[in-house]
Amino acid sequence: MSRTLSLDEARTTGAVVTIHRRGLGPGTDLLDGVVLASGVWTLVGSLADWAHADGYEVIRTEDVTKVRRLRRANQRFVERAAAGLGSWPLPHPDLAVDLTSVEDVVRSVARTSRLLAVHAEAESPGEYFPGAVGILTDEGLGLRFIDTAGRWEAAPRWFGLGEITRVSWGSRYLGAFDRFGDRPPFAPFVPSDG
């Protein structure tokens, strides 16, 4: 039996999968987790070490080249381990994520999560840009970047919407910045309804 499935099959079966995005290059082309929803963008519940729920990723659906499920024995182990750690089944996020466009994804996430991370994997493979939304227009995102020491940069970093290949939030890594990083020296972003 083939372990290759469609995003929709992955979503309906709840299988733990590896999503391939070969066009983005080595080091950024694989993502492990559970497909929770799919549209123009795809929502994935992340698994760290195949056992810990670790936030959410939204990826451009057009970048997906293959979806491959774990072998059955591995799937059963992941389910047992994650259930034992209180992470199975993977929870859906506590917000409705609009998967129509990256602008809608960012706006949805910003409604309930102060910190998120954007990835521009075609231009900056392997880089991860954590921060808070400063400005969001139909052309781009001004991200208030927080560095690895938990300090906020003074000016937003600009990303064209077409550059963004992935949006992340709710991970333990981002949670550490939110909890222990410096207080932001700016007012929180208040998203409009689009």
SS (H, E, C) 96-156: CCCCCCHHHHHHHHHCCCCCEEEECCCCCCCCCEEEEEEEECCCEEEEEEECCCCCECCCC
Q: What is the pTM of this model?
A: 0.92
Which residue segments constitute the domains of the chain, with CATH numbers given? 1-92 (2.30.30.100), 94-189 (2.30.30.100)
Contacts of 111 by beta carbon, 8 Å cutoff, 6+ apart: 95, 191
Dump the DSSP string for 162-190.
GG--EEEES-HHHHHHHHHSPPPSSPPP-
Amino acid identity of residue 111, one-letter, is R
- pLDDT in tens for each of the 194 residues of the chain? 566 788 999 999 999 999 999 888 777 778 899 999 999 999 999 988 888 889 999 999 999 999 999 888 888 998 899 889 888 888 888 889 999 999 999 999 999 899 999 999 888 888 889 999 999 999 999 999 999 999 999 999 999 999 999 999 999 999 999 999 999 988 888 887 75
3-state secondary structure of 93: coil
From the CB of residue 13, how many other CB atoms can be counted at a distance below 10 Å? 14
Q: Which helix (H) or strand (E) holds 78?
A: helix 72-84
Cβ pair 130, 146 in contact under 8 A: yes
End-to-end CA distance of the chain: 44
DSSP code, position 40: S
